[in-house]
Amino acid sequence: MRQRGEVVILCSTLDSASLNIGQCLQELGDWKDEGNFRSLGNRRLLFHDEEQTAQKGIEARLKSLGLDPGLIIFPCRHKSKDEIPWLGGHFTGDAQKSRLATAAPFALRSFLHSISVRIPEGFRYSAEATHHGPTDVGVPSFFAEIGSSEAQWSDRGTGLTVARAIMDLDLVEMPVFLGFGGGHYVQRQTELIFEAGIAFGHLFSSYQAGYLSLELVEQAKEKSGASYAYMDRKSLKSSDRTMISKMLKDIGIELLKGKEIRATYPLKEKNIYL
């Protein structure tokens, strides 16, 4: 399935990785200057001077410019204490406050697959657990990130890797899962993205288990378009596993193990990015 509607790419001039990716995007085609934004096919590229995570009312602002996106992408820097070179993406939301943006499962999956075959030497890649803002985005969206220090954020080659992955997005519909457990980089869920014909919507790490509620999980289901769930059981306490299983049953979500997912939804597509 090809993307319906406009793909709006919002880049921040306050974020060196975001600015780098935005500049690299402009090198990948003949963008038309539309005044407040640039256009190429169904892509719309906008630059702004705010922090990516602090934006509010984005849809109304885009509408005022005459834009009607079907997908919003936030190129952004990723910080970590160990400063490991890393590329990846995630959805946004505040589990503690039960506020989630609408996820873009097929877009994030495609982005990660594209990144995986272009990854610069020495880099790691993965999905991340849902975190930070903006949380009021009703259009499907995700953050596309470069980590984890200025050396990577400003590197042109790394920026081009992410820019190409954004331009090459190929949204193929497939079963959507919610994910529970694991660390911030959700290793098991990332493996399933590459080993099965599924996509993940909102992902909650083990450290977020204490914030989970029936309301939040139901919201995650609706804002991900999810019908199934996966749980990294070894990373969760027994009480958390029981709680999550009950909530999923209450909202009609089927919980599958990794082995069941691989058997039921085998990986079929060839990698189109090579």
Q: Delimit the domains of the chain by residue range.
A: 6-167, 176-264
Q: How far apart are CA 119 and CA 31, in angstroms?
A: 25
Residue 5: the pLDDT is 80
> Tokens for 192?
């399933």
Can you count the helices (H) and strands (E) in the chain? Answer: 9, 14
Q: How far apart are CA 89 and CA 22, in angstroms?
A: 16
Using alpha carbons only, what angle is made at residue 21 by residues 18 and 22, rounded to the nearest 5 degrees?
A: 85
Fold of 176-264: Rossmann fold (3.40.50)
Q: How far apart are CA 4 and CA 162, in angstroms?
A: 21
Q: Is 43 left (phi over 0), alpha (psi -120 to 50) or beta?
A: beta
Residue 268: the pLDDT is 80
Q: How far apart are CA 93 and CA 186, in angstroms?
A: 16
Q: How far apart are CA 27 and CA 25, in angstroms?
A: 5
Residue stretches of the chain with pLDDT short of 70: 1-4, 269-274
Residue-wise pLDDT tens digits, 164-184:
999 999 999 999 999 999 999
Asked: is 6-167 a CATH 3.40.50.10800 domain? The reply is no
Residue 269: the pLDDT is 63
Residue 158: the pLDDT is 97
Residue 273 three-state SS: coil
